[in-house]
């Protein structure tokens, strides 16, 4: 096996020249921990911009599951009035009337689409 000395390369974030770690075998793109964190932040930002619907679907499913839970078995808790999940959009209409007409799930979905 030949001993190849690694070449200096520019950091992909700050553009300073650095000597990469030989164990990385050409994969190291940043010079320091701060630059590595910045690169991670940028990559997460672009991923989140491309995949906005991923978290929206999870959020909507979680809200719908909260409303579809069966009533608790404990008699003291079953006497409490079932309150809807907090609304993201302030409607100028009574929530309880809308909920009784179209149902809780449909009401949450219409708030979500607003």
**pLDDT per residue as tens digits for the range 60-89:** 778 777 776 665 665 555 555 555 555 555
Greater confidence (38 vs 95) lies with 38
Q: Is the full-model pTM beyond 0.75?
A: no
CB 68 within 8 A of CB 107: no
| H-helix or E-strand spanning residue 58 | helix 52-67
pLDDT tops 60 at residue 19? yes
Sign of CA dihedral 93, 97, 102, 105: positive
Beta bridge partners of 9: 18
Question: What's the confidence (pLDDT) of residue 55?
Answer: 81
Cα gap 21→27, rounded to integer Å: 9
30-48 per-position pLDDT tens digit: 999 999 999 999 999 999 9
């Amino acid at each position: 096996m030949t001993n190849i000395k690694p070449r200096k390369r520019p950091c992909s974030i700050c553009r300073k020249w650095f000597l990469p770690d030989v164990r990385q075998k050409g994969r190291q793109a940043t010079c320091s921990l701060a630059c590595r964190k910045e690169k991670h932040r940028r990559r997460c930002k672009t991923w989140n911009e491309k995949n906005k619907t991923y978290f929206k679907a999870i959020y909507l499913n979680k809200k719908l599951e909260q409303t579809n839970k069966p009533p608790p078995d404990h008699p003291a808790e079953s006497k409490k009035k079932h309150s809807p999940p907090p609304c993201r959009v302030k409607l100028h209409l009574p929530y309880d009337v809308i909920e009784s007409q179209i149902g809780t799930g449909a009401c949450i979905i219409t708030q979500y689409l607003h």
